[in-house]
Amino acid sequence: MNISLGNLMNKNFKFSKNYRAVAAGTLGALFLMSAGLANAAPLPHPATTATTLAQPAQPAAQAAANANDSDKTLAAMQDELDRARTRLELKIPDTNEPARPYFIQYRVLDLDVRTIVAEFGALVSSTAGRNRIMSVDVRVGNKNLDSSNFITDEGFSGFLGSTGTVGIDRDYDSLRPDLWLATDQAFKAAVENYSKKQAFMSRLAKAPSIPDFSDAPPTVSVEPLQASDWTTRNWEQEARTASAALRQFPQLYSSRVVYHLIYTTSYLINSEGTKIRANRSLAAIEASLETESDDGMALHNYYAAYRHRPDQLPAADAVKKDLEKAGEDLISLRVSPPAADYDGPVLFDAPAAGSLLAQMLGPSLSGARGPLAMQTAFDQLMDRLGGHSEWTGKLGSRVLPGSVSLLDDPTTKQFQGHDLLGSYEVDQEGAKAQRVELVNSGLLLNFLMSRRPGPDLDKTNGHGRSAYLGDPRPMASNLFFTSSDGISPEDIKKKFMDKCKESGNKWCLIVREMDNPVLGVREQDDLSEIVMGAASGAATGDRLPLLVYRVDVADGHESLIRGAHLSGLTLRAIRNISAVGNDSTAFDFMQSQQAGFAGTALAAFGSADSGVPSTVIAPSLLLDDVEVHGARGEPERLPLVPPPPIN
């Protein structure tokens, strides 16, 4: 299931209420239950000691408002969880003890969203909506082996329980029946899934010994409710003004400017004593620009700005200037020569390096074990998409150059005056955020961990993250890539030119910006073609640059080229980086949670409506030997009639 705003704001997004069918389907599996399930112990009461996070100081007016807090969501969740903990059980034929859950977790997400879309100065749509979604996770078995993290021959099962919409009034009486029915459904599904998982593991010659779940101290953090604040800015007019900047480019086939203004209140309660209410917000401007060259090559560019709150978004005039620059770059790309095959030094400017590292490092930073799958096709698919870690089993080994260190820190809020997008205090599993030193002087010291153990580590470090109600998985937050031998932009450019001369090439390449086709391409067919092409080479290090410049070795003249594809850029390729700059720059992006993207190299291709806010802080990088392929494939036929004029 894809977790996106489009799904969540749909009032018809419901969990199945055909409980008779669910129960009937479950009964057949119950007869296959082993004694191990029947002997599961009842849920323990929550620990008496829990981590309590300090709450920010409140203005007097806000404090007075919260003194009369009418939000009954946590109360309803707690009462229904207490009832389920003590009474939920399922009698299994031919066993002495009924099956009981060992872990229950409720999540509720309150969404308040505005979306404004404009094209060429005209408003296309302006929508606002509020919705509330719940997710119920019930686990059967024990932490060593439970009903989660398993893909049956019928498809994916085990990360999330029942999910669906609930009432928006934060009402006690309407929420409890929804939680009750969803818990019933999730429990029965967990019992059946656990049976299938046990049967599958019994057929393996060597069953995995890594546990399914790890201990974590309970956290209590109940923030005061915050109302959505859209500010006094006229968002519709700003969208018109910003998008009008692209009217001066008649060569554009299409363009779209989208303002996303998102407020969320998330609730989490589990049977271990965690209780959380947290407010988050995200504001984004995303724009796509598309055209074709005279020889029929489809081309695009994009613009993205992300902030924590709507009032922090750049003003319309600033966005207009940035869109004009994006339009000029795309028109220049349109008339530029196609790229030729190349093998030699490539210099990545800091913003491009941040995007490149997001793609390359993402899958290998996670230390969690992937799901068990009955079909080998799943593992094969993850291999093809670059979804398996290159660093598993390498703790203590050199994985990056000796001067390089890698740190992920969700507790840091700013870098050189730039608000970092990936900051948070508690992750989506209720674990307190932690600063994690991943690599020091080239040596691998740690992984990002959720509550799902892995082959090297078994405890969470507060990095279980997800978009909306997606499956929490270990994901980077604010990732710092630094070097003790960083050199100035002028020195790294000089070293680049020296490497070019040594290689015997008449010209070399500089990558100024990497691509994100999810933002740059509107047509689904075109996007699918680009993404599938990227997916087919993700495991072997194929990457998509956007703005690539050919540099003449003789005189240093730079000229834009189009259609280049980078190849062979795996983590092994960057163990011997030739030079690292000292010009660290924050690159904000959204890690995708879409099916087929999450956990792979393609996760860097995200958008505001389905992604996890993240930042990579990285300097310029010089790589000695990069294989670059020129344009491939047959171009499309140009339109028979020129585009209509824009007055």
- The whole model's pTM is what? 0.88
Task: State residue 44's pLDDT score.
Answer: 56
Asked if residue 64 is part of any domain, the answer here is no
Mean of pLDDT over the chain: 86
Task: State residue 66's pLDDT score.
Answer: 56
CA distance 139 to 126: 41
Asked if residue 454 is part of any domain, the answer here is yes
pLDDT (mean) for 237-254: 95
Task: State residue 431's pLDDT score.
Answer: 96
Q: Are residues 498 and 406 in the same domain?
A: yes
Q: Are residues 352 and 328 in the same domain?
A: no
Q: Show which of 195, 222, 249 is a domain's final residue.
A: 222
Task: State residue 389's pLDDT score.
Answer: 80
- pLDDT category at 378 given cuts 50, 70, 90 is low
Tell the burial category of 555 from Cβ atoms under 10 Å away from its Cβ (0-12, 13-18, 19+): exposed
Task: Supply 223's token pair.
Answer: 């923030």
- pLDDT category at 24 given cuts 50, 70, 90 is very low
pLDDT (mean) for 41-66: 51
- pLDDT category at 23 given cuts 50, 70, 90 is very low
Task: State residue 48's pLDDT score.
Answer: 43
Q: Are residues 449 and 536 in the same domain?
A: yes
Q: Are residues 257 and 401 in the same domain?
A: no
Task: Supply 365's token pair.
Answer: 């930073």
The per-residue pLDDT for range 272-312, each reduced to its tens digit, is 999 999 999 999 999 999 999 999 999 999 999 999 999 99
Does the pLDDT value for residue 607 go beyond 70? Answer: yes
DSSP codes of every residue in 307-356: ESSGGGSPPHHHHHHHHHHHHHHHHHHHTSPBPPPEEEEEEE-HHHHHHH
Asked if residue 115 is part of any domain, the answer here is no
Does the pLDDT value for residue 51 go beyond 80? Answer: no
Q: Which amino acid is at 463?
A: H
Total of domains in the chain: 3
566 phi/psi in degrees, rounded to 5:
-85, 145
Q: Are residues 510 and 363 in the same domain?
A: yes
Asked if residue 62 is part of any domain, the answer here is no
Task: State residue 483's pLDDT score.
Answer: 96
The per-residue pLDDT for range 98-130, each reduced to its tens digit, is 899 999 999 999 999 999 999 999 999 999 999
Q: Which has more confidence, 341 or 2?
A: 341
Does the pLDDT value for residue 62 go beyond 80? Answer: no
Q: Are residues 260 and 408 in the same domain?
A: no
Does the pLDDT value for residue 36 go beyond 50? Answer: no
Does the pLDDT value for residue 550 go beyond 80? Answer: yes
Q: Which domain holds residue 423?
A: 342-629
pLDDT (mean) for 52-68: 50
Q: Which has more confidence, 416 or 535?
A: 416
- pLDDT category at 471 given cuts 50, 70, 90 is confident
193 phi/psi in degrees, rounded to 5:
-65, -40
Q: Show which of 194, 222, 250 is a domain's final residue.
A: 222
Q: Are residues 527 and 441 in the same domain?
A: yes
Q: Are residues 394 and 328 in the same domain?
A: no
The per-residue pLDDT for range 150-173, each reduced to its tens digit, is 887 665 443 344 678 899 999 999
Beta pairing partners, 88: none
Does the pLDDT value for residue 603 go beyond 80? Answer: no
Beta strand pairing call for 51-52 and 219-222? parallel
Does the pLDDT value for residue 457 go beyond 90? Answer: yes
Q: Which has more confidence, 370 or 548?
A: 548
Q: Are residues 429 and 453 in the same domain?
A: yes
DSSP codes of every residue in 582-608: S--EEEEEEEE-STTTTTSGGGGS--T
The per-residue pLDDT for range 490-542, each reduced to its tens digit, is 999 999 999 999 999 999 999 999 999 889 888 777 777 777 776 666 667 88
302 phi/psi in degrees, rounded to 5:
-145, 165
